[in-house]
C-alpha cells in the first residue's frame, strides 16, 4: 500500500531516477517534472502529498514554482522540500520566504531522506487531524448558529416589513434584532450590540430575546423590559461584557414613537429624505450597572412616510481597503442625497456596500429601517373586537377575589397590570385573552393619568400634542409623592357559560363627570387621539359603571 504520492522536480534525469528509486523503496508512489512550470501543472493534475524541488532549473526556477504551488494548494498541507547543492544562508532564507518547508543538500543520503520523510509524515498527520477537527467544529458551529438564529428570530412581529442589513463578522453575530407586539398593539423593536463578535458575543442574545418577547407578550412597558434585561445581563455576563441597545415603541396607530438609546449610534427619523429627529445615546449600555440609570423614553410624533433608522457601530466603523471608517457623515450624506427613486435606506445600504467593497470587517454590521406607516399599524378592529366565548374561556369557574393598592413610589417604579394578569392566569389555570389586558390597562392608566396626575386628555388632540402629553406624564409621575390606586378583581361562576370578572379601579383623585365626557368623546370619535380607551372598554365589557364623584370605575367582563 502506497504511503503517498511524491512529486520530484529536477532538470537532471539522473537525479530524478536515483531519488525516485529511493522513494519507491520506502513505499511511495512518484511522479516527475523537469522544470518549475511542469511542476505546477503536475500539482494541479495529480495532487501530490509531498514535493521535492530543485532550485536551479530552466523555464522556471524552484523559488517561483514553490510560490505558485503553495498558492495552488491554498489551505491544503503540501510540504515542499528543496533539493540543492547551495548552502548559502541567503538561499535558504529565500526558499523559506516563498513557502518552502525544509532543505536537503545533494547528494541525498538514504538515512537523511528517511528521517526527513518521517518528520514530514508526523506533521502531515497532525495537519490531517487538525483539518478534521476544524471541519467538525465548523459543522457544529453551523448547526448551533442555525438553532441559535431560529430561537432569536422566531416570533418577530412585522420583521418582514423592515429594511434589514445584517452582516456578521463571524458565523455567530453579537448583534440582534427583535420585534414584538404588546397585547394593546404597541410594536416594540430592539436593536442590540454585544461587546465583541462571534460566539463569545452571542451568549447573551438568547436570554435577552426571551425576556423581550415574554415581557412584551405579558404587557410590560419598554422601561420595565429594559430594566429586567439590564438586571439579567448584569448578573450573567462577565464584567468586561455588555450590550449597547436601542429600544423603540411605536403606538398601534403609528402616530407616536417612544425611544431609548443606550450606547448605540444616533437613531434617526427620516422624513422626505431629511433627518427629522435624532435620538442620541442618553444612557449606559445594558449590563454595566445593577440598575437602569436612565429610565426615560423619549417621545416623538410621527407622520406618514417617516422611517426610523437604527444602527450598530459596525456601520459607522466599517472600513474600506485604505482603512478609512465609513463614519456618521457618510451615513447622513447617503440619507439626504443620491438617486431620488431609491429610499434613504436603500441609498445608505448602497453607499455602505460600495465603501467596504467586500472587505472583511472587524465587527458585526447591523442596520435596521422601520417604516412608520400603515403597513405596521394595528387595525382598530383587531384590538376592539369582543372575544368569542370559545376563545376566551379562562378555565374552570371558581369564586375568588383579589385586592391591590398601589401608592406613591410604587406607581412610579412598577407596572402592576402584568402582575395582576399573571395572578388571574394562575387562579384560572389558563392564559387570559389580550382583550382583558386592554380593559385593565386602560382603566388603570386612566386612574393614574387623570385621577392622580390631573392630566388633560384634550392635550392629545394631535400627534405633537400626544408627544407633549407623554413628556408631561413622565415629569408628573416622577414628582408624585401622594395618592393611591386600588384595584379589585373578583371572579363569579356564570352557569355553563363560563366566568364573569368584576374589575373595580378606584383612585384617590377628585373624579370627573363621566356622562359629559362620554358625550364629548362620541362627538369627536375618530378625530382625536384621546378618549378612545373608555369607549373601547365599553365595547369589550358587558357593562361599565362610573360611580360618583367619578374616581371609581366598575366593569363586568365575561370571560
CATH annotation of 380-558? 3.30.565.10
Cα separations (Å) of 505 from 403, 405, 437, 540?
10, 10, 14, 16
Q: Are 14 and 56 in contact (CB under 8 A)?
A: no
Which runs of consecutive H residues, i.e. helices, occur in 154-221?
A: 199-202, 205-217
Residue range 107-135: mean pLDDT, rounded: 85
The closest alpha carbon to 551, from 473, 412, 446, belongs to 446
C-alpha cell at 63: 523559488
Dig out the grid coordinates for 336 from the structure.
439626504
Q: Where do the structural domains in the chain lie, given as residue ranges?
A: 5-130, 154-376, 380-558
Rounded CA-CA distance 334/51 in Å is 53
Share of the chain above pLDDT 70, in %: 87
* Inter-residue contact 307 to 371 (CB < 8 Å): yes
Give the count of beta carbons closer than 10 Å to the beta carbon of residue 328.
Answer: 14
CA atoms in the 13 A half-sphere facing the CB of 473: 24
Q: Cβ(392)–Cβ(482) under 8 Å?
A: no
**What is this structure's pTM?**
0.64
The Cα–Cα gap between 387 and 147 comes to: 35
Map grid coordinates 494541479 to a residue: 44
pLDDT at res. 387 = 42
Lowest mean pLDDT among 142-146, 156-160, 246-250, 282-286: 142-146
The yes-or-no verdict on residue 50 having pLDDT over 80 is: yes
Is residue 343 within 8 Å of residue 292, measured between CB atoms?
no
Task: Report, in angstroms and rounded to the nearest whole number, the Rg of the chain calculated over CA atoms.
Answer: 35
Contact 250, 187 (CB under 8 A): yes
Residue 390 is predicted with a pLDDT of: 36
Q: What is the DSSP string of 338-385?
A: S-TTS-HHHHHHHHHHHHHTTPPPSS-EEEEEEEESGGGPPPHHHHHS
Higher per-residue pLDDT: 133 or 329: 329
pLDDT in tens, 420-458: 888 887 777 666 677 888 899 899 999 999 999 998 877
CB 474 within 8 A of CB 517: no
pLDDT band at 465; cut points 50, 70, 90: confident
Which residues have a Cβ under 8 Å from the Cβ of 358 and sit 6 or more positions away? none
Class of the domain covering 5-130: alpha beta
Confidence at residue 525, expressed as pLDDT on a 0 to 100 scale: 60
Q: What is the pLDDT of residues 154-186, one digit of tens each?
A: 678 888 899 888 887 776 667 888 999 988 889
Instruction: Compute, in degrees rounded to 10, the torsion defined by CA atoms 69, 70, 72, 74.
Output: 160
For residue 235, which of 225, 247, 227, 224 has the smallest C-alpha distance? 227
pLDDT value for 392: 39
Q: Report the alpha-carbon distance of residue 555 to residue 559 in Å, rounded.
A: 12
Band (518; pLDDT cuts 50, 70, 90): confident
Neighbour-count burial of 412, counting CB atoms closer than 10 A to its CB (0-12 exposed, 13-18 middle, 19+ buried): middle
Residue 267 pLDDT > 80: yes
pLDDT the model gives residue 86: 64
CATH superfamily of 154-376: PPM-type phosphatase domain (3.60.40.10)
In the three-class reduction of DSSP (H, G, I as helix; E, B as strand; rest coil), residue 452 is classed as helix
Please identify which residue in the block is written with the cell numbers 392630566: 455
Give me the chain's average pLDDT, please: 84
Q: How do residues 344-390 score in pLDDT, each as one tens digit?
A: 888 899 999 999 987 888 888 899 999 999 999 986 555 544 444 33
- Taking residues 293-300, report their average pLDDT: 84
- Give the pLDDT band (50/70/90) at residue 549: very high
Per residue in 388-415, pLDDT (tens digit) is: 433 334 444 468 888 999 887 788 878 8
Beta bridge partners of 271: 274
Helix (H), strand (E) at residue 402: strand 400-407
Contacts of 369 (CB under 8 A, 6+ apart): 162, 163, 164, 307, 308, 309, 343, 344, 345
Q: CA dist 184 to 219, 381, 385, 388, 417, Å?
A: 8, 12, 12, 18, 12
Helix pair angle (327-336, 344-356), 10° resolution: 140
d(CA 138, CA 413): 46
Q: What's the gap between Cα 410 and its chain centre?
A: 32
Burial of 245 (0-12, 13-18, 19+ CB in 10 A): buried
Q: Which residues pair with 50 in a beta bridge?
A: 6
Q: Classify residue 159 as exposed, middle or buried by CB count within 10 Å of its CB (0-12, 13-18, 19+).
A: middle
Q: What cell does 442 get?
A: 386602560
Of 108-112, 300-304, 380-384, 397-401, the least confident: 380-384
Residues with Cβ within 8 Å of 262's Cβ and at least 6 positions away in sequence, in order, are: 226, 244, 245, 246, 281, 282, 283, 284, 285, 286, 294
From the list 281, 283, 285, the residue with the least C-alpha distance to 294 is 283
List, in order, residues 6 or more apart from 555 with CB less than 8 Å away: 439, 443, 502, 503, 537, 541, 542, 543, 544, 545
What is the rounded distance in angstroms from the CA atom of residue 245 to the CA atom of residue 98? 47
Asked whether the beta carbons of 225 and 247 are under 8 A apart, the reply is yes
Amino acid at each position: 500500500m502506497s504511503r503517498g504520492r511524491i512529486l520530484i522536480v529536477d532538470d537532471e534525469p539522473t537525479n530524478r531516477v536515483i531519488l525516485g528509486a529511493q522513494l519507491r523503496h520506502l513505499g511511495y508512489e512518484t511522479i516527475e517534472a523537469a522544470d518549475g512550470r511542469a511542476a505546477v501543472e503536475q500539482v494541479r493534475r495529480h495532487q501530490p502529498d509531498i514535493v521535492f524541488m530543485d532550485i536551479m532549473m530552466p523555464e522556471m526556477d524552484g523559488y517561483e514554482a514553490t510560490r505558485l504551488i503553495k498558492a495552488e494548494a491554498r489551505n491544503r498541507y503540501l510540504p515542499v522540500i528543496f533539493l540543492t547543492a547551495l548552502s548559502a544562508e541567503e538561499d535558504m532564507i529565500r526558499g523559506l520566504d516563498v513557502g518552502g518547508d525544509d532543505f536537503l543538500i545533494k547528494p541525498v543520503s538514504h538515512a537523511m531522506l528517511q528521517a526527513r520523510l518521517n518528520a514530514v509524515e508526523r506533521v502531515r498527520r497532525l495537519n490531517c487531524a487538525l483539518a478534521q477537527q476544524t471541519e467538525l467544529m465548523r459543522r457544529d458551529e453551523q448547526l448551533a448558529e442555525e438553532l441559535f438564529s431560529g430561537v432569536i428570530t422566531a416570533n418577530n412581529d412585522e420583521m418582514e416589513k423592515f429594511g434589514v442589513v445584517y452582516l456578521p463578522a463571524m458565523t455567530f453575530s453579537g448583534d440582534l434584532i427583535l420585534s414584538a407586539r404588546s397585547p394593546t398593539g404597541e410594536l416594540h423593536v430592539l436593536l442590540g450590540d454585544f461587546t465583541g463578535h462571534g460566539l463569545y458575543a452571542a451568549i447573551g442574545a438568547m436570554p435577552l430575546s426571551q425576556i423581550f418577547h415574554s415581557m412584551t407578550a405579558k404587557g410590560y412597558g419598554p422601561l420595565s423590559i429594559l430594566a429586567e434585561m439590564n438586571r439579567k445581563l448584569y448578573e450573567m455576563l462577565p464584567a468586561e461584557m455588555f450590550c449597547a441597545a436601542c429600544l423603540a415603541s411605536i403606538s398601534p396607530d403609528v402616530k407616536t414613537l417612544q425611544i431609548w438609546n443606550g450606547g448605540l449610534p444616533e437613531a434617526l427619523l427620516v422624513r422626505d429624505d431629511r433627518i427629522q429627529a435624532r435620538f442620541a445615546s442618553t444612557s449606559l449600555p445594558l449590563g454595566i450597572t445593577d440598575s437602569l440609570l436612565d429610565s426615560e423614553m423619549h417621545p416623538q410624533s410621527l407622520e406618514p412616510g417617516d422611517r426610523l433608522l437604527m444602527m450598530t457601530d459596525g456601520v459607522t466603523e466599517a472600513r474600506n481597503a485604505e482603512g478609512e471608517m465609513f463614519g456618521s457623515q457618510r451615513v447622513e450624506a447617503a440619507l439626504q442625497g443620491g438617486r431620488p427613486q431609491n429610499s434613504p435606506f436603500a441609498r445608505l445600504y448602497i453607499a455602505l456596500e460600495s465603501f467596504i467593497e467586500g472587505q472583511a470587517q472587524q465587527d458585526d454590521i447591523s442596520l435596521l429601517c422601520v417604516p412608520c406607516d400603515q403597513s405596521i399599524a394595528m387595525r382598530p378592529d383587531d384590538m376592539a373586537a369582543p372575544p368569542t366565548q370559545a376563545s376566551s374561556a379562562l378555565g374552570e369557574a371558581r369564586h375568588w377575589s383579589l385586592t391591590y393598592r398601589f401608592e406613591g413610589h410604587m406607581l412610579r417604579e412598577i407596572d402592576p397590570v402584568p402582575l395582576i394578569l399573571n395572578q388571574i392566569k394562575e387562579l384560572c389555570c389558563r392564559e387570559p385573552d389580550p382583550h382583558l389586558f386592554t380593559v385593565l390597562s386602560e382603566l388603570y392608566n386612566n386612574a393614574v393619568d387623570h385621577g392622580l396626575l390631573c392630566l388633560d386628555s384634550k392635550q392629545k388632540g394631535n400627534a405633537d400634542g400626544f408627544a407633549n402629553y407623554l413628556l408631561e406624564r413622565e415629569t408628573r409621575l416622577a414628582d408624585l409623592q401622594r395618592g393611591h390606586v386600588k384595584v379589585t378583581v373578583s371572579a363569579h361562576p356564570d352557569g355553563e357559560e363560563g366566568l364573569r370578572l368584576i374589575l373595580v379601579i378606584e383612585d384617590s383623585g377628585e373624579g370627573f363627570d363621566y356622562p359629559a365626557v362620554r358625550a364629548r368623546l362620541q362627538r369627536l370619535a375618530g378625530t382625536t387621539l384621546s378618549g378612545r380607551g373608555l369607549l373601547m372598554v365599553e365595547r369589550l365589557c358587558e357593562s361599565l359603571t362610573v360611580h360618583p364623584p367619578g374616581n371609581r370605575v366598575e366593569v363586568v367582563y365575561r370571560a
